[in-house]
A = this chain, B = another copy of it.
Amino acid sequence: MEDFNLSTMPYKGTRDFYPDEMRIRNWFYSVIKNVLDKYVYEEYNGPMLESFDIYAAKSGVEIVEEQTYNFNDKSNRRLAIRPEMTPTVARMVAAKLEQLTLPLRWFSIANLLRYEKPQRGRVREHWQVNVDMFGVWSLKSDLEIISIAVDLMKAFKADASMFKVKINNRKFFNEVLMKVLKVEKSRVQEVSKVIDKKGKIASEDFKKWLMDLGFDEEKVIELNSIFEIKDFNGIDKLFTDSTEDLPGRNELTELFALIKEVGLAEYCEFDFSVIRGFDYYTGTVFEVNDKSPKNRRALFGGGRYDNLIEMFKKGSNVTGIGFGFGDVTLKDFLETHNLIPENLNENKSVLISVFPNVPYSFYLELSKELHENGIGNIIYMGDNLKLKKQMLFAERKNISTMIIVGDDEFSTKMVNIKMLNQKKEIKLQRDCYLDELKDILGIAKK
């Protein structure tokens, strides 16, 4: 072995998941999968490495060069470690479009790597849940995706006082800019970019940037008043001609009507400042926001995109709507609202004590018997067989039940069940202790 000076720290911006952390992550997934199962979303996954081009085609070469881990392989293929799942899933859908029956309801749970400055809620490696529906243009699919987002939050026991789904529509957004604020078509994109940054810059700068783009004082006030609107019904008076047929306005009207019908109104509101940065959104966009003043920001978001499959398959016209959901922001939210259950570290298994004068094969048989009855168990393996040591070990592993068969119990065919939490012990016959043990552990009997 050569001599290296090895650090025990994980690489900057990445995390080690020790069992305690892993239990939390696994709990996240079980809650999430339970909701997605009910909506019959199917899990997929893809490679950790992809061609650099699939990200560059979507986001531009420069951004991908800067924000991903990318390199050439030995055959000079340019690769990137996936920074997001969307290009992968678009590629997969495009590859099998003929065989797949639309609509697809798909989700994935995957680790992603971005080259960014680590900060609260932003790490270099995070785990993201991606939920997407492909192939439905109807607003009913937008409703389904938003319903899933709300159900996920509710499954984590979050209520309407803790989060809000803020909804906008990119077509509608452009209509307001052009019809209400009279922004020239050629300037719509520039203005959008400024509005997208609104939450991150001082209101003075925001105003200045808008005025640089041709807004006058009055229009800035008008725009700010639009940001105040939370109930979508309030929007109609903005338009001088309320009967004009505007596709974006129609979509939002229909979506909010559906939201009310299905009883989600208390969780949702209109928010004109929600754009979700990416250029590829084409209709509904939404964000789930934490309402806590300590943590006020977007937990996750998503929207409708129409041309991602086309990147891979020219002329295909498959629309998608979905969202992505990172483990770091989720954990921040759940911690802020005290929603992580305390019993995740509870250990429903038993420790089998070992004594020197009992044949070891007896303990092996006992362990097997417990396995066959669905009872997780560990045979004590320390060198020091003092009962105190064995109890200490159980305690440190959060195990609260011990099976004790010493010389006496072995020769009289008895079993001692020791309940460490209750400082209680019961002695039972070797051929009839299992039901009692299952009761103590809270395991269903066959």
User: Using a CB–CB distance below 8 Å, which chain A residues touch chain B?
Assistant: 1-2, 4-12, 14-19, 22-23, 25-26, 37-40, 42-51, 53-54, 56-58, 60-61, 69, 71, 73-74, 77, 79, 81, 88, 91-92, 94-96, 101, 103, 105-106, 111, 113, 115, 124-125, 136, 138, 140-141, 143-144, 151, 258, 261-262, 307, 311-313, 347, 349, 360-361, 364-365, 368, 371, 374-379, 381-383, 393, 396-397, 399
**Residues in B neighbouring A378, C-beta threshold 8 A:** 39-40, 105
Report the minimum CB–CB distance from A19 to chain B (whole Å): 4
Identity of the chain B residue whose Cβ is nearest the Cβ of A371 in the assembled complex: B38
Q: Are B377 and A6 in contact (CB under 8 A)?
A: no
A307 to B220, alpha carbons, bound, how many Å? 67
A106 to B23, alpha carbons, bound, how many Å? 12
Identity of the chain B residue whose Cβ is nearest the Cβ of A395 in the assembled complex: B101
Q: Are B144 and A379 in contact (CB under 8 A)?
A: yes
Q: Are B92 and A16 in contact (CB under 8 A)?
A: yes
Q: Are B47 and A14 in contact (CB under 8 A)?
A: yes
**Residues in B neighbouring A37, C-beta threshold 8 A:** 376
**Residues in B neighbouring A307, C-beta threshold 8 A:** 1
Identity of the chain B residue whose Cβ is nearest the Cβ of A61 in the assembled complex: B2
Q: Are B262 and A361 in contact (CB under 8 A)?
A: yes
Q: Are B8 and A48 in contact (CB under 8 A)?
A: no
Report the minimum CB–CB distance from A170 to chain B (whole Å): 16
- Among candidates B11, B95, B377, residue contacting A47 with C-beta atoms closer than 8 Å: B11
CB within 8 Å for A360 and B95 given contacts A43-B26, A56-B4: no
